[in-house]
Amino acid sequence: MQTIHTDVLVIGGGLAGMRLAIGVKRRGHDCIVLSLVPPKRSHSAAAQGGMQASLANSIKGEGDNEDIHFADTVRGSDWGADQQVVRMFTNTAPKAVRELAAWGVPWNRVQQGDREVVINGQRVTISEKEAAHGLITARDFGGTKKWRTSYVSDGTGHSMLYTMNDQAIARNIVVHERTEALALIHDGARCYGAIVRNLVSGELLAYVASATCIATGGFGRIYRATTNAVINEGMGAAIALETGVATLGNMEAVQFHPTTLFPAGILMTEGCRGDGGLLLDANEHRFMPDYEPEKKELASRDVVSRRMEQHMAQGHGVRSRFGDHLWLDIRLLGRQHIKSNLREVQEICSYFLGIDPATDLIPVRPAQHYSMGGVRTDYRGQCPTLKGLFAAGEASCWDMHGFNRLGGNSVAETVVAGMLVSEFIADYCDSAESEMALSSTLIKQCWRREHDRLQQLMSPDGNENPFDLTREMQDIMTDKVGIFRHGDQLSEAVEQLQSLLQRSRKIRVKNQISGANPELVAAYRVQKKLKLALCVACGALQRTESRGAHFRQDFPQRNDNDWLQRTLASWPDENTASPQLAYEPLDVMSMELPPGWRGYGARDHIEHPAVQQRLSAIEKISQQSPTGDRFALQQALMPYEHLLPARFRGRNARLGEAEPCS
Amino acid sequence: MQLTESTPAPRSLRIHVLRHNPQDPQSHPHMQTFNIEEADGMTLFIALNEIRETQDPALQFDFVCRAGICGSCGMLINGRPGLACRTLTKDLDADIYLAPLPLFELIGDLSVDTGKWMRGMSERLETWIHTQQDEPDLDALEARMEPELAQNIYELERCIECGCCIAACGTARMREEFVGAVGLNKIARFRLDPRDARSDAAFYELIGNENGVFGCMSLLGCEDICPKDLPLSTQLAFIRRKMAFIH
């Protein structure tokens, strides 16, 4: 058994992982990044539309600031988010965009003067200020009051990921490509690294680290219909769950993106609608204003996806041999705009369907897109129950998205969390707390257990096929734990998933080759994925309300009275067939923005008893606060600045705002 | 158009794959044929996964995004480098020949180590913004940039490092160290970017030789096959001209 030592082990080479590595290295700590694939191939590259940050440079973003970004994000989350974390995030997002700008991302820029844009189906002329010329511009996105999404055409994630990686290469960050963490090394109280499989040679190694950070992205591939890359199998969250100590937060909060290319499930960016694209039904009728007169196509993703499914269920979908779909219409944006700002969309339409979106309608249907849930952490990105374990990005439940993430807030989170959590990890490594008294016996035990598990999968006792189990799981999740959920179907899903989990313990890998063995990989991953699927399904079954992306037909109201709580799933006993669920209440009395109507979607939620009390308290604080100073008011309502690393506490400069006094 | 369309019987595809597992001392390179039934909208991503799941679970290949944006699945498709995930079987004959990209280290079957090659290239060519400033001021307004310039930089930044240009390159075949269109395009990208403080003389140090811009024979296979339609021939010519004036 080979053992590799480092200060910080980063599992995952996407945007979050690479920014983490850069951050801890800057603070003088060694780190190694593990990546399933060459890191520039990570799924961060698929984020097309952009990154939210309240720069307020474009005329349509004028007046924007952290406060508005905060409120949009909390409303988007359907009040599931940790509001202090949202504050930390919205204050850091502009810094993240500016850091990336300095590092090389070619953000689209403001062009002064008149330009034509499409708003609400109409061509209108807007005029950009001379003072803003050359600063980073923004496009409109769903669930936002301002145009706040910075972008690079529709290849934003690609540009960000390449820039981040190039910066990591410049700093000699070590990446071990084609490696996979199979288990965390831990003693029930402290995490010491991971047991890692080399996906080319099949070798099993131990990586020992003072701090371990999971940044492996989401788990969309537990669904059949998903925009996620094939590597998004949630293995980071799964190995945290398998410690029996770490918890996963809000796993039932799964986002479905409204516009994915039908039937392939490939993402068509929200930028299509942000830039003025419309949704049409079989009669080419624009139906969203009928349901959502305020935000129309640009309500939050959970709302738009539900309205689309509802409209199809009423018989207005376009029939095809693969099932029903709707149309995305970006023809009105014009060829020039599509060519410069939506070119990946154009390319994907052309290659996969042979259509030209400048003249043809795009067939779309909602599909799984994002995992709001993940490894539960505190505001530092640290697992509260397993010391030395951290998580960041989509793999985590940090929890800035609650039950629904806004478009443009995910790539923003990856970089912001990378910036902040790397500082907290470095603090941890600098402190006496990180010192380890680690016995080699423990490492050996963990290594042996993984080794034996792999051997077991290859043994002739079993008879189950991992590919079949995967397909069955994906069908169950898409058919029964999807956009519309119901107690009866969820119960069925749980039962069926449990039976699959039992069967997965009897897998037989026929290929006895060492080294790269795709069948073996499928085998150990499906065992882990089934546990994640059960966390999602059990969480969804227990949560007898509708919140954000979690919609129960049998409990259609948001119920703050009973369910203003975060779900925590753990798996303490390996031999059981379901996770243990616990709940963590959100404290209304400390919220800056108490629960109310989101500004779109249903208005009929059941109120939390403390809301009125909190609202009066807020009113009193607002009256006492000196007028005009939004920072002082915010500080009085919900202090958070002290939580930020000192380096990132500065005020963000904006055009037209008074010079920040630092 | 006829009102009643009769669905023709699906084609039977014969997918011929060049197999070899360098990890296995018994393995030797050979072609293996898999028969599968074509389905509507079938891509090589779908076809190869079906083969792995139903016929040979040991078959190695790389897919990540399956949407043509991550560059993982470059391979020789009927002898021509391309992205397998967005290649529709209906555009190909029923006999489809697949082989790994040449010139990269073979991992197994259709999987090659482009990651290692690309990282090596990036390290050699220092493909990052070189600034004089140590750390940017994150609280201040960002430096301005002309909108058109930003778009032009993105135009060159669309490269997905799939390796197809290397596989299609005559020079790369003769010179192991040749940085290829992917490398030279990156130099063009950073040279265009005013945030990068490097001078042409500094770029010359990196590519002013036969493993760099003077190695290119202008066969332009790279331009023909680039899956992102990058303007490689223009950039190569431009960079060569700029570099020729240095000494």
> Any idea what the Cα angle at residue A114 is, between residues A110 and A117, rounded to 5°?
80
Q: Contact, A258 vs A365, CB < 8 A?
A: no
User: Cis omega before residue A572 (within 30°)?
Assistant: no
Residue B2 belongs to some domain of the structure: no
Mapping DSSP to helix (H, G, I), strand (E, B) and coil, where does residue A12 land? coil
Q: CA-CA distance, A11 to A236, in Å (whole number)? A: 7
pLDDT at A626 over 90: no
Residue B118 belongs to some domain of the structure: no
Q: CA-CA distance, A43 to A217, in Å (whole number)? A: 8
Residue B119 belongs to some domain of the structure: no
Q: Which amino acid is at A369?
A: H
Which of B69, B88, B112 marks a domain boundary?
A: B112
Residue A120's Cβ-side half-sphere holds a number of Cα atoms within 13 Å equal to 8
Task: Sort strands A278-280 and A326-329 into parallel, antiparallel or unpaired.
Answer: antiparallel
**pLDDT score, position A661:** 46
Residue B5 belongs to some domain of the structure: no
Residue B197 belongs to some domain of the structure: yes
User: Distance from B123 to chain A by nearest Cα, in Å?
Assistant: 7
pLDDT at A662 over 50: no
Q: Are residues B133 and B222 in the same domain?
A: yes
Find residues 587-616 of chain A whose CB sits inside 8 Å of chain B. none
Q: CA-CA distance, A361 to A371, in Å (whole number)? A: 29
> Considering only CB atoms, which chain A residues are within 8 Å of B107?
178, 200, 516
What does pLDDT average to over chain A? 96
Q: Are residues B98 and B158 in the same domain?
A: no
Which of B58, B80, B112 marks a domain boundary?
A: B112
Q: Give the model confidence (pLDDT) of A43-101 as tens digits.
A: 999 999 999 999 999 999 999 999 999 999 999 999 999 999 999 999 999 999 999 99
> Considering only CB atoms, which chain B residues are within 8 Å of A352?
41, 43, 86, 88
- Report yes or no: A155 at the B interface, CB cutoff 8 Å: yes
Task: Say yes or no for a CB contact (<8 Å) between A38 and B58.
Answer: no
Question: What average pLDDT does range A259-272 have in this prediction?
Answer: 93
Nearest to B122 among A46, A169, A522 (CB): A169
Q: Give the model confidence (pLDDT) of A177-225 as tens digits.
A: 999 999 999 999 999 999 999 999 999 999 999 999 999 999 999 999 9
Q: Are residues B104 and B149 in the same domain?
A: no
Residue to mutate among A162, A339, A507, with most B CBs inside 10 A, is A162
Q: Are residues B160 and B241 in the same domain?
A: yes
Question: What average pLDDT does range A378-384 have in this prediction?
Answer: 98
Residue B184 belongs to some domain of the structure: yes
Q: Are residues B132 and B106 in the same domain?
A: no
Q: Are residues B45 and B69 in the same domain?
A: yes
Q: Are residues B136 and B193 in the same domain?
A: yes
Q: Are residues B144 and B236 in the same domain?
A: yes
Q: Give the model confidence (pLDDT) of A391-400 as tens digits.
A: 999 999 999 9
- Report yes or no: B20 at the A interface, CB cutoff 8 Å: no
Q: Give the model confidence (pLDDT) of A427-441 as tens digits.
A: 999 999 999 989 999
> Considering only CB atoms, which chain A residues are within 8 Å of B60?
516, 518
Question: What average pLDDT does range A599-609 have in this prediction?
Answer: 93
Task: Sort strands A179-186 and A191-198 into parallel, antiparallel or unpaired.
Answer: antiparallel
Q: Are residues B35 and B131 in the same domain?
A: no
Q: Contact, B70 vs B115, CB < 8 A?
A: no
Q: Say which CATH number the domain at B182 has.
A: 1.10.1060.10
- Report yes or no: A37 at the B interface, CB cutoff 8 Å: yes
Q: Say which CATH number the domain at B67 has.
A: 3.10.20.30
Low-confidence ranges of chain B (pLDDT < 50): 1-3
Reply yes or no on whether A257 is catalytic: yes
Say how many domains are in chain B: 2
Q: CA-CA distance, A634 to A637, in Å (whole number)? A: 5
Residue to mutate among A227, A230, A470, with most B CBs inside 10 A, is A230
**pLDDT score, position A211:** 98
Q: Are residues B59 and B160 in the same domain?
A: no
Q: CA-CA distance, A35 to A9, in Å (whole number)? A: 11
Number of H helices, E strands in chain A: 18, 20
Which ipTM score applies to this complex?
0.96
Residue B205 belongs to some domain of the structure: yes
Q: CA-CA distance, A588 to A579, in Å (whole number)? A: 28
Residue B3 belongs to some domain of the structure: no
Note down the domain range covering B213.
126-246
**What residues pair up with A387 in beta bridges, in sequence order?**
A190
pLDDT at A168 over 90: yes
Lowest mean pLDDT: which of A128-132, A133-137, A507-511, B165-169?
A507-511
Q: Contact, A261 vs A348, CB < 8 A?
A: yes
Reply yes or no on whether A43 is catalytic: no
pLDDT at A348 over 50: yes
* Total beta-carbon pairs less than 8 A apart between chain A and chain B: 214
Q: Contact, A145 vs A72, CB < 8 A?
A: yes
Q: Give the model confidence (pLDDT) of A503-561 as tens digits.
A: 999 999 998 887 889 999 999 999 999 999 999 999 999 999 999 999 999 999 999 99
Whole-number Cα distances in Å, A119 to A141, A273, A328? 12, 10, 15
Which of B112, B134, B166 marks a domain boundary?
A: B112
Q: Are residues B76 and B165 in the same domain?
A: no
Nearest to A108 among B40, B127, B150 (CB): B150
Q: Are residues B223 and B182 in the same domain?
A: yes
